[in-house]
Amino acid sequence: MESIKDKVAIIGMGCCKFGENWDQGAEDMIIEAAYEAYEDAGIEPKDIEAAWVGTLYSGTAGVCLAEPLKLPRIPVTRVENFCATGHEAMRNAAFAVACGMYDIVLACGFEKLKDTGAGGLGIGRGVHPVLEGRRTAPGTFAFIATRYFHTYGLSPEEGKRTIAKIAVKNHHNGSLSPKAHFQREVTLEQVINAPFIAWPLGLFDCCPTTDGAAAAIITRADLAKKFRPDPVYLKGIGLAVNPMLPHFEPGFDWTGFEMNRAAASQAYEQAGIRDPRREINVASVHDCFTITEMIDYEDLGFSPKGRAKEDIDAGTFTLEGELPVNSDGGLKAFGHPIGASGIRMTYEVYKQLQGKAGPRQIENVQLGLSHTLGGPPQVACVAIFGNSLG
């Protein structure tokens, strides 16, 4: 099995302003993201040879990308893999380029969530009429908080205070991100005292419901420098799908996810990373809820199992910390337009690797990671990027 390391590069990226974009349809956000990416890469729309588009439920088929961008009868494929959908678009685009079939391709992800008339992602999941009758996203991720606190001996108050620090950190980082949905700071007390959405998770433990789109232009690594002096190389990308809904999975411990660990280990192996905490300089991880980010620290190998609290308390993952996580504010500040998120997270890593992250810029960034965890959750994707070959 060959590694994808250093075979493809990102030469342009775009990201629309995330938010409750009442006055924009999906097509408007796609156009904003794609044209920013074209300009960033210094290419024309006609240079695109094939495209992949990711959306969970805001569009169907390749037409949802071909129509707004008027892509002229080239191959366009829609992909979907829950919250890893944006990553999945990039992953498939990268493989198509790596095999030599195309030289320049577009990967775009989007979601228009604010046309439903209700906040959140709805109540009830799955194909079967009653099996997941009133399942909600916060209700499910609250399972992790309840069980994690129970397993590692945190009282609900201690647990809440610990994950609240993640919300405070990400809101702070969001205040430095002009494209974020939320751009204001919150205090620890505000987070802790917010009304419960799904106990133990309160309002500020949940990311908002948001519209957005993001895009990436991918080419072969050996062609990348023809387009720009600072391309970003894909070092590894792993994807893992769990074979059972965790809710019914025998033996599942509800304190972390095997598919997170599997996707990370695939990506780390391809990238040749042995000690992720030391080797990775910036990470955009899936923080649909604050507790999700906490278990991500452990699943991705940043913190030892059961000990993320020590690192949270020490400020390890703040902008000034040892390994800044969600330097742009994460899903907490950007919201989670599902199909867009994996690419939006990569957009931050890309900017950090190019030294173009403005007030959020971290020093000496050479390797960055983006990660999504999707569905019940049942899908995880980890991608590693670097700013030099080798």
If binding means CB under 8 A, how many residues of this protein chain bind another protein?
47
Query: DSSP character for 142?
Result: H
Could you tell me which stretch among 116-124, 261-269, 294-302, 312-320 binds another protein (CB under 8 A)? Answer: 116-124
CA 196 centroid distance within chain = 25
Could you tell me which stretch among 18-26, 122-130, 271-279, 350-358 binds another protein (CB under 8 A)? Answer: 122-130
If one counts every other C-beta atom within 10 angstroms of the C-beta of residue 320, the result is 7
Does 228 participate in binding another protein (rule CB under 8 A)?
A: no
Give the relative orientation of helices 156-174 and 290-299 as an angle to the nearest 10 degrees: 90
Q: Residue 183 has which token pair? A: 């751009």
Considering only 128, 229, 320, 390, the residue that binds another protein (CB under 8 A) is 128
Comparison of 48 and 331: residue with beta carbon closer to another protein? 331
CB of 339 to another protein, least distance (A): 19
Of 351-370, which residues contact another protein (CB under 8 A)?
Answer: none
CB of 7 to another protein, least distance (A): 33
Does 144 participate in binding another protein (rule CB under 8 A)?
A: yes
Does 166 participate in binding another protein (rule CB under 8 A)?
A: no
CB-CB contact of 329 with 174 (8 Å): yes
Among 24, 21, 27, 101, residue whose Cα is nearest residue 71: 27
Does 158 participate in binding another protein (rule CB under 8 A)?
A: no
Does 136 participate in binding another protein (rule CB under 8 A)?
A: yes
Q: Which of 15, 16, 64, 83 is catalytic?
A: 83
Catalytic site includes residue 381: no
CA 173 to CA 119: how far, in whole Å? 24
Among 312, 330, 329, 331, residue whose Cα is nearest residue 321: 312
Of 311-350, which residues contact another protein (CB under 8 A)?
Answer: none
CB of 335 to another protein, least distance (A): 16
283 three-class SS: strand
CB-CB contact of 174 with 183 (8 Å): yes
Could you tell me which stretch among 66-74, 199-207, 257-265, 327-335 binds another protein (CB under 8 A)? Answer: 199-207
CB-CB contact of 91 with 383 (8 Å): yes
Considering only 249, 258, 279, 322, the residue that binds another protein (CB under 8 A) is 249
Does 134 participate in binding another protein (rule CB under 8 A)?
A: yes
Does 118 participate in binding another protein (rule CB under 8 A)?
A: yes
Does 153 participate in binding another protein (rule CB under 8 A)?
A: no
Q: Residue 260 has which token pair? A: 């997170």
* Residue 113 φ/ψ, nearest 5 degrees: -95, -15
Catalytic site includes residue 286: no
Of 257-296, which residues contact another protein (CB under 8 A)?
Answer: none
Q: In what order do the strands lie in the sheet with 379-386?
A: 76-79, 50-54, 104-111, 212-220, 8-15, 232-241, 379-386, 367-374, 282-284
| β-sheet bridge partners, residue 239 | 381
Considering only 42, 124, 304, 359, the residue that binds another protein (CB under 8 A) is 124
Considering only 101, 196, 226, 388, the residue that binds another protein (CB under 8 A) is 196
Spatial neighbors of 75 by CB under 8 A, at least 6 apart, are 50, 51, 62
Active site residues: 83, 336
Binding site for another protein (CB under 8 A): 116-125, 127-136, 138-140, 142-147, 150, 195-201, 243-245, 247-252, 254
